[in-house]
Amino acid sequence: MQSISTIGLDIAKSVFQVHGVDAAGHAVIRRQLKRRHVLAFFQKLPSCLVGIETCASSHHWSRELKTLGIRCDCCLRPT
């Protein structure tokens, strides 16, 4: 597998969408994850940057991912 440098994480009620790109910006992974599988998925990855859209639970997920050594940024959705 190619090295993932950045991941976009779309948080939803039960199924999360993961989109990972390499340093050149090419898509490396696109995947749907159920809520209960999210932390296990990120535990298997090397440290990378994860962008999460700001919402009610984004700070919770950001804290959870930071405990795994993953850098997280919460982003506002453009209007």
For the chain, the three-class secondary structure string (H helix, E strand, C coil) is CCCCCEEEEECCCCEEEEEEECCCCCEEEEEEEEHHHHHHHHHCCCCCEEEEECCCCHHHHHHHHHCCCCEEEEECCCC
Q: Where are the domains of the chain?
A: 6-75
Q: Please write the tens of the pLDDT for every residue from 26-73.
A: 999 999 999 999 999 999 998 899 999 888 888 899 999 999 999 988
Question: Domain 6-75, CATH 3.30.420.40 — does that match?
Answer: yes
pLDDT in tens, 1-37: 579 999 999 998 889 999 999 999 999 999 999 999 9
- pLDDT band per the 50, 70, 90 thresholds, residue 74: confident
Give the residue from 53, 48, 42 showing the smallest Cα distance to 78: 53
